[in-house]
Amino acid sequence: MSADLSASVDILTAARPKYPYPGLRPFQIDEWPIFFGRERMVDEVIERLAAHHLVLIHGASGCGKSSLVRAGVLPTLAGQHLRVGAPWRLCMMRPSNGPLWSVASEFARLEGDAEYIKRAGDIIRHLSRREVTLASVASSLRGLQGQRICLLVDQFEELFRFEKETSREEAELFVDLLVRNNVEVTRGMKPRGQAGVHVVVTMRSEFLGECARFNGLAEAINQTQFLVPRMDRDSLIRAIRRPAQLYGGEVSADLVERLVADVARGEDELPLIQHGLMYLWNEAARARPGGKIVLDAAPLEQRADLRPSCRIMQTQSSMKRRPIWSADARSNVCFAHSPI
Give the whole-angstrom CA distance, residue 134 versus residue 182: 10
Checking if the pLDDT of 204 tops 60, the result is yes
Mean pLDDT across 97-111: 92
pLDDT (tens digit per residue) in 117-154: 788 888 999 998 878 899 999 888 887 877 888 999 99
Split at pLDDT 50, 70, 90, the class of 54 is: very high
Q: pLDDT at position 10, please?
A: 60
Split at pLDDT 50, 70, 90, the class of 85 is: low
Cα–Cα distances in angstroms (integers) from residue 200 to residues 95, 159, 339, in the given order: 13, 15, 32
Q: pLDDT at position 317, please?
A: 39
Checking if the pLDDT of 252 tops 70, the result is yes
Domain boundaries, the chain: 2-227, 233-331
Q: Are 25 and 154 in contact (CB under 8 A)?
A: no
The H-or-E segment that residue 59 falls in is: strand 54-59
Q: pLDDT at position 131, please?
A: 82
Residues forming a β-bridge with 295: 251
pLDDT (tens digit per residue) in 155-191: 999 999 999 999 999 999 999 999 998 875 555 555 5
The H-or-E segment that residue 251 falls in is: strand 250-251
Q: Are 200 and 32 in contact (CB under 8 A)?
A: no
- For the chain, the average pLDDT equals 81
How many residues can be counted in the chain?
340
- The neighbour count for residue 141, using CB atoms within 10 Å, is 21
Q: pLDDT at position 222, please?
A: 93
Tell which CATH architecture fits domain 2-227.
Answer: 3-Layer(aba) Sandwich (3.40)
| 336-339 contacts, C-beta under 8 A, 24 or more apart | 337/279, 337/282, 337/283, 338/23, 338/278, 338/279, 338/282, 339/282
Does this model's pTM top 0.85? My answer is no
In the chain, % helix, strand, coil (3-state, to 5) comes to 60, 10, 30
Question: Among positive and negative, which fits the CA dihedral 152, 157, 163, 167?
Answer: negative
Mean pLDDT across 10-26: 82
